[in-house]
Amino acid sequence: MSQPTPTARDASGRRAPRVARPVPPRPLIRWDLTLFVVLAAAAGTTAVALGVAGAGLSLLSDACSTEDCNDSMLAVAVLTAILAPLLVIIAATIVGVVRIRRRRVSFWVPLAGGVLAVAIWLAAAAVAASSVPGQSLFN
C-alpha cells in the first residue's frame, strides 16, 4: 500500500497555500487575426472617406449669403464629421489589438467601430444641415 503524501506545512504548523499551476496560453486564432486585419483596413479606408466627406459639409455655408445661419453649430458639426470617424476607428483598432494579444475573438471590433463611425458622421451631417435654414440632409 502506498502512503498518503503529507501536506506541506509552514513553520507554525498551518497548511501552506498551494501554488497555482500556470495556465497555458490560449492558441492564436488565425482566421480571427486575418479577418481583423482586413476589416481594420476597410474601416480605416472608410474613416478617411468619411473625413473627406465631412470636409465637404463645409460647403453648406455657401447657402448662408442671404440667410441667417448658425455658423458655430455648422463649424462644430463639420469638425465632428471630420475627426470623430478617424478617432473611433483608431480606438477600435487599439481595442482589437489588445483583444488579439489576449487571444480573444476580435474580428467584430472593427465592424462595430465602423458602424459607430458612420452613425456619428450621419449625426454630424444632420446637425450641419440643420444649421442652415432651408437645408435638409436628404435634399
Output 3 or 99, whichever has higher pLDDT.
99
Give the mean model confidence (pLDDT) for residues 32-44. Answer: 95
For range 24-39, the mean pLDDT: 90
pLDDT tens sequence across 97-135: 999 999 999 999 999 999 999 999 999 999 988 888 877
Please tell me the predicted confidence (pLDDT) of residue 132. Answer: 82
| CA gap 57, 81 in Å, rounded | 8
pTM here? 0.77
* DSSP secondary structure letters along 26-54: PPP-HHHHHHHHHHHHHHHHHHHHHHHHH
**Mutual angle of helices 108-130 and 30-56, in 10-degree steps:** 10
Confidence class for position 84, pLDDT limits 50, 70, 90: very high
Instruction: Give the model's pLDDT for residue 92.
Output: 97
Q: What is the pLDDT of residue 11?
A: 65
Q: Is the pLDDT of residue 10 over 70?
A: no
pLDDT at 8: 61
Q: What percent of the chain lies above the pLDDT cut of 70?
A: 84
